[in-house]
Structure 1
Amino acid sequence: VACRAWDVGLFKAVLAEFLGTGLFLFTGLASIAPWTLASPKLLQASLAFGSSVALMSYCTLPISGGHLNPAVTVSLLVAGKVRQARAGGYIMAQLLGGLTASALLYGLTPEHARGEIGINKLAPGVTLPQAFSIEAIVSFQLVLCVLATSGSRRDPSKGGHLLIGLSVMLGHLVAIRYTGCSMNPARSLGPALIAFEFANHWVFWVGPTTGGLAAAILNDMVLAPTGSGFRQWLTMLQEGPKGPCNLQSKAESTAQEMGLSET
């Protein structure tokens, strides 16, 4: 019975990540559609992406933990806060959600306003090392924020989801002029597949993932160490959070439904 309940919880969590990521990216990408000859405003795009992340994080938090980003999920996996099987399901759901949002937006937008449907690309004069560094830095601060608010996010009254939305908004204010600001491989993959444009696409996967992993390791080893030591951390990373599903307590099951392990 406990195993079946866990399977239902996993299905709901994966569905929440699909819907949350899709809605967040649909609203964000729609805000940068070039309806006029003038480029979308920097502040407009930043507010749209930041507020949509805050809203979807709030909605999906009790169900999946509100990751909405493969780079965040990979970082939480390394930090030992999500199981490997769950992380894999989340990442697939997030990528599919981004692709669905991009396809839906493409179909609903008049041809003259589609432009490049939000493809991430390097601005003129920006080199690959510069683009990679910018993406890594803004993703670093995002994952650090997620980890710092992981406790308060369970209590919506503490506003953890709002802080994450501000972090995403800050990342866009910094990075839009360099790369269009990805911070999220699911955000980059959807438009790239729809337009079939993959120039320098690896930057928008490796950059956010590298920044997120650096934040997770720094947080776990220095800022908020668990005290278990490097060898125990490697063991945890290989085995994942312990506890067979037929012996899970109610509290642990709740935490797993959120995509996080108890700290």
Structure 2
Amino acid sequence: MPISRIAIGSPGEASHPDAIKAAFAEFFSMVIFVFAGEGSGMAFNKLTGDGPSTPSGLVAAALSHAFALFVAVSVGANISGGHVNPAVTFGAFIGGNISLLRSILYWIAQLLGSVVACLLLKFATGGQETSAFSLSSGVSVWNAVVFEIVMTFGLVYTVYATAVDPKKGNIGIVAPLAIGLIVGANILVGGAFDGASMNPAVSFGPAVVSWSWANHWVYWLGPMVGAAIAAIVYDTIFIGQSTHEPLPTNDF
């Protein structure tokens, strides 16, 4: 089982230059992703008046998030692995592909990046609201949790298949493209119901800046559970003990 390979990491890892560089890469990737994704919704709303809640607004959100995530993952891939999502980091941790201490650095950087992106958007738009994620009418919190679990499972399963699996070969641009596309596709599915976050940091930034926390726990529980299930399923069935490549010792 992958959970048997979970690594805590060494006390000095938090100050290791490579870990610091990786955290900065996650921060800047998250700024790029949230600024483009959240900003596109704000721009659509300005042009149309409550446009993001329309079918065309949903398509625009899916496309902007897919494009932005493709770029954000690509620019961070060679430095941090291009997680750009606390749930992806958690899935990598459950699979023994990143230590706990480095995961914590990533989580801090990802959350700060989202907050900074939303603050920049609020300032640049003259105070326009960065809307927090919320449930649509008729959608219960547990409906939303299931949505987030299933959508994040698909995302992290894709990450494992295209970026983590040691048998993946040299697929280059395919990994960030596939990751961006599955997020865009999932937004088309879940966007009308709970906003289709799949990413606790993406939900955290707007919640902080707008100070709106209604049902915010949904956008943490669902993605983290979905990520853990995907990591365990993919690692157990398709990677296995015999082919798993452990972390280099300098990552612990």
TM-score normalised by the chain length of structure 1: 0.81
- 1:249 is matched with none
CA distance in 2, matches of 1:167, 1:105: 25
Per the alignment, do residues 16 and 80 of structure 1 end up closer, same or farther by CA in structure 2, a change over 3 Å counting? Answer: same
- 2:138 is matched with 125
Alignment of 1:78-227 (within 5 A): 78-111=94-127, 114-115=128-129, 117-150=130-163, 151=165, 155=170, 157-227=172-242
CA distance in 2, matches of 1:156, 1:102: 33
> In the alignment, residue 88 of structure 1 is paired with which amino acid?
I
What is the aligned counterpart of 1:48 among 61, 64, 75? 64
RMSD after superposition: 2.5
Alignment of 1:69-84 (within 5 A): 69-84=85-100
- 1:236 is matched with none
Displacement of 1:110: 3.2
Displacement of 1:242: 6.5
What is the aligned counterpart of 2:29 among 17, 20, 33? 20
> In the alignment, residue 165 of structure 1 is paired with which amino acid?
G
Per the alignment, do residues 102 and 156 of structure 1 end up closer, same or farther by CA in structure 2, a change over 3 Å counting? Answer: farther
2:78 is paired with a residue whose SS is helix
Displacement of 1:154: 8.2
Per the alignment, do residues 98 and 158 of structure 1 end up closer, same or farther by CA in structure 2, a change over 3 Å counting? Answer: closer
Displacement of 1:123: 0.3
How many residues get paired?
231
Larger Rg: 1
CA distance in 1, matches of 2:25, 2:34: 14
- 1:250 is matched with none
CA distance in 2, matches of 1:52, 1:25: 8
Structure 1 regions of 5+ residues with no counterpart?
A: 234-239, 246-255
CA distance in 1, matches of 2:39, 2:173: 30
1:86 is paired with a residue whose SS is helix
TM-score normalised by the chain length of structure 2: 0.85
Displacement of 1:128: 1.0
Displacement of 1:146: 0.1
CA distance in 2, matches of 1:157, 1:147: 14
Displacement of 1:155: 4.3
Equivalent residues of 1:153, 1:160 under 8 A apart: no
CA distance in 2, matches of 1:64, 1:176: 28
2:240 is paired with a residue whose SS is coil
Task: State the identity as a percent.
Answer: 33
2:64 is paired with a residue whose SS is helix
Displacement of 1:30: 0.4
> In the alignment, residue 215 of structure 1 is paired with which amino acid?
A
- 1:31 is matched with 40
